[in-house]
């Protein structure tokens, strides 16, 4: 089950998963999906905040992927209050908490619960990463979930979102610079280090690689003990899936 299956990441997960004909796929989205539709996917209209409306689908699922997210929230786009609809507090944390609690209420088996988080935040917007981490901490305490968080940087797909290609190159260059010795030394300087921390970025990842990594972790047990999937883990899992499908 992909909650947010009509979105940028969710639709990519479903598309890659269709390469495995024995999988039963469920997409949960608030409206009619626009990016990708396939007759082999069971599309369910619903919200992560009201998971009881798709109870039977949750009960039938072995793996639930929370793929909801927004880079610029409603506090910027609509001048909304923190915690309002469309805010980081609601999308990053509340939807994950409500969905996680509901999945955890089923005691017939442990279900894998994957949360798409981030390694680094958005410059000068600490709430983005703070709400992601808050969700991770909470979900990791639920006893009936096999929880795993994925830490992608900028998710690149030059065909679906052309702007992500040059931005990804910029991110990769910045990430490489940040690994250099002088930058690390400056990060230890009081106040200057705090300021520079706002510019920390992760290596970008191709949308297809993220999707494949998630599917591999759903199918195989090689990464079950790995609770946080960082860049190298995701690339490795993506390659393993490619070998698995051959």
- Cβ–Cβ < 8 Å for 224, 200: no
Is 202 within the bounds of a domain? no
Is 159 within the bounds of a domain? no
pTM beyond 0.85: yes
Is 179 within the bounds of a domain? no
Give CA 125 to chain center in angstroms: 18
- Cβ–Cβ < 8 Å for 38, 21: no
* pLDDT at residue 124, as a whole number: 75
* pLDDT at residue 38, as a whole number: 85
| CA–CA distance, 47 with 141 (Å, rounded to integer) | 23
The residue ranges of the chain whose pLDDT is under 50 are 193, 196
* pLDDT at residue 53, as a whole number: 97
Q: Kindly give, in sequence order, each residue whose CB lies less than 8 Å from that of residue 16, ignoring residues fewer than 6 positions away.
A: 208, 211, 212, 215, 241
Q: What is the pLDDT of residues 132-174, one digit of tens each?
A: 999 999 999 999 999 999 999 889 998 888 888 888 777 767 6
Is 172 within the bounds of a domain? no
Q: Kindly give, in sequence order, each residue whose CB lies less than 8 Å from that of residue 82, ignoring residues fewer than 6 positions away.
A: 75, 88, 89, 127
Is 193 within the bounds of a domain? no
**Structure tokens belonging to residue 151:** 């830490």
Q: Kindly give, in sequence order, each residue whose CB lies less than 8 Å from that of residue 179, ignoring residues fewer than 6 positions away.
A: none
Per DSSP bridges, beta strands 155-156 and 205-206 are: parallel
Distance of CA 11 to CAs 52, 121, 181, Å? Answer: 23, 23, 40
* pLDDT at residue 119, as a whole number: 86
* pLDDT at residue 221, as a whole number: 87
Give the count of beta carbons closer than 10 Å to the beta carbon of residue 148: 25
Is 198 within the bounds of a domain? no
Give the count of beta carbons closer than 10 Å to the beta carbon of residue 150: 24
Per DSSP bridges, beta strands 205-206 and 111-116 are: unpaired
Is 7 within the bounds of a domain? yes
- Cβ–Cβ < 8 Å for 54, 28: yes
Which helix (H) or strand (E) element contains residue 111? strand 111-116
| CA–CA distance, 3 with 152 (Å, rounded to integer) | 18
**What total of structural domains would you count in the chain?**
1
Is 157 within the bounds of a domain? no
Q: What is the pLDDT of residues 91-103, one digit of tens each?
A: 999 999 999 999 9
* pLDDT at residue 199, as a whole number: 56
CATH number at residue 94: 3.40.50.720
Handedness of CA 89, 94, 100, 104 (dihedral sign): positive
Give the count of beta carbons closer than 10 Å to the beta carbon of residue 27: 26
Residue 101 domain boundaries:
2-152+207-245
């Amino acid at each position: 089950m992909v909650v947010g299956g009509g979105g940028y990441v969710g639709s990519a997960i479903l598309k890659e998963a269709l390469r495995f004909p024995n999988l039963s796929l469920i997409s949960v989205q608030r409206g009619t999906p626009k990016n990708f539709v396939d007759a082999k996917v069971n599309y369910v209209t619903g919200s992560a905040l009201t998971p009881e409306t798709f109870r039977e689908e949750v009960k039938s699922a072995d793996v639930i992927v929370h793929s909801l997210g927004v880079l610029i929230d409603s506090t910027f786009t609509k001048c909304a209050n923190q915690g309002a609809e469309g805010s980081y507090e609601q999308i990053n944390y509340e939807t994950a908490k409500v969905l996680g609690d509901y999945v955890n209420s089923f005691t017939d088996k442990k279900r894998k619960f994957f949360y798409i988080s981030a390694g680094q935040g958005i410059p000068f917007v600490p709430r983005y990463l703070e709400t992601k981490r808050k969700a991770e901490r909470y979900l990791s305490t639920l006893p009936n979930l096999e929880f795993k968080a994925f830490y992608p940087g900028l998710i690149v797909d030059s065909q679906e979102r052309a702007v992500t290609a040059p931005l990804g190159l910029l991110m990769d260059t910045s990430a490489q610079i940040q690994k250099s010795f002088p930058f690390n030394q400056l990060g230890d300087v009081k106040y200057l280090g705090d300021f520079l921390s706002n510019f920390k970025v992760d290596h970008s990842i191709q949308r297809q690689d993220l999707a494949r990594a998630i599917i591999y972790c759903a199918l195989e047990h090689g990464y079950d003990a790995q609770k946080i999937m960082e860049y190298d883990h995701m690339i490795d899992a993506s390659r393993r899936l490619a070998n698995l499908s051959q």
